[in-house]
Structure 1
Amino acid sequence: MQLTLTTPALLFPAISLLFLSYTNKFLALASLIRTLHEESRNNPNSPVISGQLENLRRRMKLIKHMQGTGIMSFISCVLVMFLLHFNLFQWGFVIFGLSLFFLLVSLVICLMEIKISIDALELQVQQMHH
Structure 2
Amino acid sequence: MELLNYNAPGLLFPAISLLMLAYTNRFLGLTSASRGLVLQYRTKPDIRLLRQVESLRERLSLVRHTQAMGVTSLLFCTTCLFALFLDSQLTARFAFAGALLFMMASLVVSLREIYLSVRAINIEFDSLLRDAQADDHR
What TM-score, normalized to structure 1? 0.96
**Residue matched to 1:129:** 129
Residues 95-114 of structure 1 show CA distances to partners (whole Å, capped at 9, x for unaligned) of 11111000000000000000
Runs of 4+ in structure 1 over 3 Å off: none
Q: Give the corresponding residue for 1:117.
A: 117
Alignment of 1:5 onto 2:6? yes
- In structure 2, distance between residues paired with 1:124 and 1:81: 47
What's the secondary structure of 1:2's corresponding residue?
coil
Q: What fraction of aligned residue pairs are identical, expressed as a percent?
A: 36
Using the TM superposition, give the Cα deviation of residue 34 of structure 1 relative to its aligned residue in structure 2, in angstroms: 1.1
Please list every run of 5 or more consecutive structure 2 residues that lacks an aligned counterpart in the other structure. Answer: 131-138
Q: How many residues are matched?
A: 129
SS in 1 for 2:5: coil
Whether 1:89 and 2:89 are equivalent positions in the alignment is yes
Separation of aligned partners in 1, 2:14 and 2:82:
18
Structure 1: runs of 5 or more not aligned: none
Q: Larger Rg: 1 or 2?
A: 2
Q: Pairwise CA RMSD of aligned residues?
A: 0.8
1:22-101 residue pairs with structure 2 within 5 A?
22-44=23-45, 46-101=46-101
Output the TM-score relative to the length of structure 2.
0.91
Tell me the amino acid that sits aligned with residue 103 of structure 1. M
**SS state of the match for residue 87, structure 2?**
coil
Letter in 1 for 2:50: S
